[in-house]
Structure 1
Amino acid sequence: MIADFESYLDQIDNVANRERVRTVLNWVQTTFPQLEQRYAWNQPMFTDHGTFIIGFSVAKPHMGFAPESEGMAHFAEQIAAAGYNPGKKFGRIKWTQAVDYDLLKQIIKYNIDDKIDCATFWRR
């Protein structure tokens, strides 16, 4: 299902972390089947009609999710309540933390709806 991302996943040394990222990516594709997979800027991401919706990355202590700064700002309280470490354009989920799929679903749906008429990759 996420064939485009397998080479990325293969680079994640920790097997448990690799499977966790695979699970999240599969969940996104299953929950939002209209989204297209894209691998760019060394990260798997999902787009809708050519516009960026969300991207994911990994680091030693966490998995990152990037909904652009607009998505981070809109969901700042929920991201903080989930205990995730927020940045301006992305959030960090420690490998020891649970993935809040309901929150991810809200963030992705927000970006899809907010960018319905967006004709560029990034918001302007």
Structure 2
Amino acid sequence: MAALDVVQWTQLLALGAFSGVLGQGARVVVGLKKVGDTAAAENREISELIVPSRLLISLLIGAIAGGLTAVLTDINIQAVSFNTIAAFAAAGYAGADLIEGLISRILPQPGKSMSGTIQPSVRVEEYLG
């Protein structure tokens, strides 16, 4: 890989991150369709089922995956093809899926301990004083 100056590194990282967000955005659209179907089936508002912070984190993970892919790829920043941008977007899509899958396995789900047994979300002692 040819040596890049700071501006070129920044351009490459920004291109990868933005493309990663686009790729993850495609995944979000599919997820929103599923949430819409669930909301309709349960006769609930879609806004009740969407967690904005999780959506933002998901897009951020896509940006990180796309940015890392861009930095690790040997490309000429002065002549970027559509295929390269599509590859960064695909990295955002797949990378976010991989990272979110790993996080969900490593971190316990709400209401569960690391061993998988269900834990009460509120302890009796909290009500007894």
Q: Greater helix share, 1 or 2?
A: 2
TM over 0.5, yes or no? no
TM range (shorter): 0.3 to 0.5
Higher relative contact order (CA 8 A, sep 6+): 2
Q: Decide which structure has the larger Cα Rg and report it.
A: 2
Pick the structure with more strand per residue.
1
- TM-score with structure 2 setting the length: 0.31
